[in-house]
Chains A and B, each alone.
Chain A
């Protein structure tokens, strides 16, 4: 039984990462009923920007770069966690400005628009950084490993899992416990009434979309040291994110979190016994669940199934 424990723990941390990756995607699906296929590319963009910021040649003017490099690694990392997602948020803003034109039409158009945006972002990444792999530096405090039982555990995995829990909790608090969250949810439910109450729904939607893209970038930065930074990482992220949402059910916050954990456990455990096939397990899990339950685990009725 003890043999299983590392795999279980590994699956759980992986599951938390999947939940984190899906979080931004879920916000946009749940609150705007739009599918953001550029999620993966924005995730990758966040990681690449962070890598550039943490590397030896930060994208600043010479003076600033010198001052930046003089900062301790930990400070730089913390600042990167703010700067890179903010930059990605600007890209998200641009996408939302285009996406506005598709609101109220078939949700297919939003999906296609973001597919085009994903292509553009991915190709831009390839032009700027090439196709080689990169490594994201992290502060000493969270890298390395420690001994527990007879096994070596990676410190970073636990740090990443902890951050995931914190961010998921924070987003939940914002949606469920603040007036901003209440207005946003009301806007998703009945946009006409919300407008009639004098709330600027256009700005609200922009905010939600930007928040979703910022979360994508943060997930990218957190996951990058584990998966590595390469052009394909966007696709590797958007498919699990989409899968987690469909498995958990559109419109359900905890559905997505539970689905993330399930997918992580599934991939982690199957990876232990048949690593070649571990990626298949999540699709089989999805097919099994959606065959029986029409709207995933706890999905609500949504225009996305019309």
Chain B
């Protein structure tokens, strides 16, 4: 098993230095992304998928629950955003809340059926429910538009009462998504480092032991799954805004598999930021390798195999291992110096 990192001083903070640096870097992205040959829309995609992958990692990384049908909640969020806009009220906040709530509701329903299951049975139940939602989305032509998707979804203006912002421009929308992303990151960071998050992490290590300590394992498993589905739904709602449409393909097994891949390639099992790293690598690899060859999945598949075989803790894990080694060498170097020069005697 992969050891859990010991609690650091960052764990108690609301906003960590890493977050600030990441936000600052992300905030400058629209200024230079076009110059390196990429395009602003990719930035939006990366933020939305990062949010989705972080939400997914609450289940896979924090709780250790293998969920392989998570695309369903992302897709449900996207459809909920569109349907709310068309049939209820065309208000951004109401529609995003609908994405969050409807996906959360679907997650809660599924959690009822799966939370007393483990391992392979848990994994396959999530696949089965994912397939059920996917089939429903494809076959209910009247509601979702079937395979053609739900089209003509508008990017509603962000109305703050005193001021209203138009989000149709990709750069404006990018900053809007960035703000939501930052808020969600803080919320998830606090959640995983709260007493609740610690219990969930304990369940990952041993469900039986957590149960014997008196925790109601079922409630924790069900609630973290529901929450993860709801945040995935929020990401889905943003995705519907980005694409100006909602399509069933994000709900398919393949796309659900991609989010698992992104999370693991990045190192979601050992690091909070792993999923974000994975999304960056995946989407940029898609664009860069995809521009060179149309068989980019072949190369990404090979890369993925190599990572599972040689660096199962992912990129974030490899980097932190390298850092640890570095600091170990420094510390050993220091004690060698002390041995040589007699340490305290010089003071």
Question: In the complex, what distance in Å separates the CA atom of A102 from the CA atom of B117?
Answer: 24
List the one stretch of A2-10, A48-56, A119-127 in contact with chain B: A119-127
A43 at the interface (CB under 8 A from B): no
Report B213 CB to chain A, min CB distance, Å. Answer: 18
Query: Which chain B positions have C-beta within 8 A of A304?
Result: 119-120
23 A-B pairs within 8 Å (CB atoms) are namely: A102-B309, A105-B312, A113-B305, A115-B261, A119-B300, A120-B298, A120-B302, A122-B297, A126-B295, A250-B120, A279-B131, A280-B135, A283-B132, A286-B125, A286-B128, A295-B121, A296-B121, A302-B119, A303-B119, A304-B119, A304-B120, A305-B118, A306-B119
A290 at the interface (CB under 8 A from B): yes
A186 at the interface (CB under 8 A from B): no
The 0/1 profile, CB within 8 Å of B marked 1, for residues 262-306 of chain A is 000000000000001101100110110011001110000011111
Chain A contact residues: helix, strand, loop or mixed:
helix
A-B contact count (CB 8 A): 109
B259 at the interface (CB under 8 A from A): no
Question: In the complex, what distance in Å separates the CA atom of A287 from the CA atom of B295?
Answer: 37
Query: Which chain A positions have C-beta within 8 A of B117?
Result: 290, 294
A214 at the interface (CB under 8 A from B): no
Tally B residues with Cβ within 8 Å of A.
37
B73 at the interface (CB under 8 A from A): no
B298 touches A283 (CB 8 A): no
A287 touches B302 (CB 8 A): no
A106 at the interface (CB under 8 A from B): yes
Question: In the complex, what distance in Å separates the CA atom of A102 from the CA atom of B131?
Answer: 28
196-253 of chain A: CB within 8 A of chain B: 235, 239, 242-243, 246, 250
B127 at the interface (CB under 8 A from A): yes
247-286 of chain B: CB within 8 A of chain A: 253-254, 257, 260-261, 264
B residues with a Cβ closer than 8 A to A are 1, 66, 113, 116-122, 124-125, 127-129, 131-132, 135-136, 139, 253-254, 257, 260-261, 264, 295, 297-298, 300-302, 304-305, 308-309, 312
Question: In the complex, what distance in Å separates the CA atom of A124 from the CA atom of B299?
Answer: 10
Report B266 CB to chain A, min CB distance, Å. Answer: 13
Report B4 CB to chain A, min CB distance, Å. Answer: 14
Closest to A121 in B: B301
**Residue in B1, B136, B301 whose CB lies within 8 Å of A117:** B301
Report B24 CB to chain A, min CB distance, Å. Answer: 34
A116 touches B121 (CB 8 A): no
Query: Which chain A positions have C-beta within 8 A of B128?
Result: 243, 283, 286-287
